[in-house]
Amino acid sequence: MSAQIVNQFGRPYDSPARYSGTEEDRRFMNRPKLDGDMATLLSRSKHKMILNDARWIRESFPLVGGAVEQKADYVSAAGWLPEFFGNDRDWGELVTEKLHLALNIADVRGQLFDWTDLFWTASSSLDVDGSVFPLLTETASGFPQTQFLEAHRIGQRSPGRLVGTQDAYTLIPRAPGQPPEKVWGIFFGRKIINGIIYNEACAEIGYRVLGENSTEDRDIFARDMVHITHPRWFSDGRPFPSIAYAALDWYDVKEARELQRTQQKVHAALTLIESNESGAPPPVPKLGEGPIRAGADAATEPQTQLLMGGLVRYVRSAGGKLDSHESNSPSDGWRAFDRTIIAGALFGMGWRAEMLDLSLLGGAGVRGFQDNINTVILGRHRRISRYALRIVKYFVSKLIRRGDITPNAEWWKWFIPQPPEFNVDASRAMQQDRDNIRFGLDSHPDAVRRSL
């Protein structure tokens, strides 16, 4: 007879249904099923819940808000204005000035958001919202503009995933006061998941922009919209914001700190501890009153007295003694626990706790820390810059069509400058760059780029 196969609990192995409803089921088998496309696994309601939690965490935790903005500051340190790299330098110099002026008034809301502010906010949105959607549009005269739409503006009102007979049209605005025109087109029968419309190959071909009500919803072709995001899976549709990966940790930090704050207030209020035979304050009668806390049972109820804003605690003891209250809270163990949770939560966001306090750094790990942070900064810049270049080329083509820029075969040759590298000790880093150049291990342009 063959040996019986047992599971990790030493019991005969069977299908998961054998343990349905047991402790084993709750601990090991009752897990979410993630064996499908990530775009379809994230429901409309869960996407809203994640978006709400991530935004609340950023606004409620100064630590999180500071980390998000600090990362955006470093990523945007060089600005986002494009530079020309073609051979026709004369054309490039002339066009660069005009293009920069146009980009700084690119947003439909005017100068409230210049070009650098738009992409600083886009970097923050990747951490908080997971996506941002710049709409490519233009004025009545054909001047190019953008309208950056936040993640909640792209969605759908019904939980269905297929564009059916009721919503398989694109709304085209007409004259003021008239309802938009319904144009039936290529979106008929296509999948729509969390506001993104897909073709058979799961490529994004359109987006549903939500209006004030269903009559104002519009389906936008993908050629007129840019989806700035950071997919973690090949089947991603609306990727998680980085804050969401540490949401439970941030809630733990909030709860633990609130309890510790309450404990600190109690310790701060307790000033003196007096030990006496009664365990109660001495009677100090006032006019028309009995002793303080008359009738209280000192054996079962702690006795206190307010004295100059502090509390005096009375404890029953054979001998009288007066002690000042001392507290060692928060303890070193609690502080270590708090730092560990925060470090893990920030690492889940793609950032490091040491960036908030550089005094924590030291020794040989500084170089590795710098490399880690610069990898994060340049990675975020690379992901956003390719989307920024698409918008730049849209502006150049529109300005050429309007006649503001003369046509040129190299009209598309633009790049976004990289931000300078982060250094814990800038003077030491520059000395190392000089030594590397002297020994032929580095070049002047690379050293200049890292320091500017």
56 by Cβ neighbours in 10 Å (0-12 / 13-18 / 19+) ranks as: middle
What is the Cα–Cα distance from 203 to 227, expressed in whole angstroms?
12
Predicted pLDDT at 18: 42
Name the residue among 370, 386, 374, 355 with its Cα closest to residue 419: 374
User: Residues with Cβ < 8 Å from 157, sequence gap 6 or more?
Assistant: 210, 214, 217
pLDDT band at 212 (very low <50, low <70, confident <90, very high): confident
Q: Which residue has the tokens 């633990």?
A: 256
Confidence check: pLDDT of 359 > 80 = no
Predicted pLDDT at 246: 83
Q: Are strands 270-276 and 310-316 parallel, antiparallel or unpaired?
A: parallel
Q: What is the mean pLDDT of residues 142-161?
A: 87
The tokens describing 228, both together, are 């700035």
**Which residue(s) pair with 321 in the sheet?**
275
Predicted pLDDT at 128: 93
The string of DSSP letters for 59-81 reads HH-HHHHHHHHHHHHHHTTT-S-
- Quickly list H helices, 216-364: 247-269, 332-348
pLDDT band at 17 (very low <50, low <70, confident <90, very high): very low
What is the Cα–Cα distance from 214 to 66, expressed in whole angstroms?
37
What is the Cα–Cα distance from 308 to 325, expressed in whole angstroms?
15
- Give the residue, 290 or 400, on which the prediction is more confident: 400
- Give the residue, 308 or 347, on which the prediction is more confident: 347
Share of the chain above pLDDT 70, in %: 65
Neighbours of 36 (CB within 10 A): 9
Q: Which of 142-151, 344-353, 379-388 has the lowest mean pLDDT?
A: 344-353
Q: Which of 99-108, 169-178, 371-380 has the lowest mean pLDDT?
A: 169-178
Q: What is the mean pLDDT of residues 284-298?
A: 50
DSSP secondary structure letter of residue 291: S
Angle (CA) 42 47 50, round 5°: 120
Q: What is the mean pLDDT of residues 32-47?
A: 77
Taking the alpha carbons at both ends of the chain, their separation in whole angstroms is 76
Predicted pLDDT at 134: 96
Predicted pLDDT at 388: 96
Q: Which residue has the tokens 């920069």?
A: 100
Q: Which of 39-53, 260-274, 286-300 has the lowest mean pLDDT?
A: 286-300
Neighbours of 132 (CB within 10 A): 26
The tokens describing 8, both together, are 């990790």
Neighbours of 418 (CB within 10 A): 17
For residue 427, the surrounding DSSP H or E stretch is helix 426-438
Confidence check: pLDDT of 299 > 80 = no
For residue 390, the surrounding DSSP H or E stretch is helix 365-402
29 — phi, psi (to 5°)? -115, -15
The tokens describing 440, both together, are 């032929």
The tokens describing 89, both together, are 């330098």
- Give the residue, 63 or 429, on which the prediction is more confident: 63
What is the Cα–Cα distance from 99 to 89, expressed in whole angstroms?
15
With beta carbons less than 8 A apart as the criterion, state whether 181 and 174 touch: yes
24 by Cβ neighbours in 10 Å (0-12 / 13-18 / 19+) ranks as: middle
Confidence check: pLDDT of 301 > 70 = no
With beta carbons less than 8 A apart as the criterion, state whether 77 and 69 touch: no
- Give the residue, 391 or 173, on which the prediction is more confident: 391
What is the Cα–Cα distance from 426 to 355, expressed in whole angstroms?
15
pLDDT band at 38 (very low <50, low <70, confident <90, very high): confident
pLDDT band at 262 (very low <50, low <70, confident <90, very high): confident
Neighbours of 210 (CB within 10 A): 17
Average confidence score pLDDT of the chain: 77
What is the Cα–Cα distance from 118 to 383, expressed in whole angstroms?
15
Predicted pLDDT at 19: 40
Predicted pLDDT at 169: 57
Q: Show contacts of 61-65: CB within 8 Å, 24+ apart.
A: 61/250, 61/253, 61/254, 63/342, 63/356, 64/243, 64/250, 64/349
Confidence check: pLDDT of 171 > 70 = no
Q: Which residues of 165-189 are buried (b: 16+ CB within 10 A; e: fewer)?
A: eebbbbbeeeeeeeebeeeeeebee
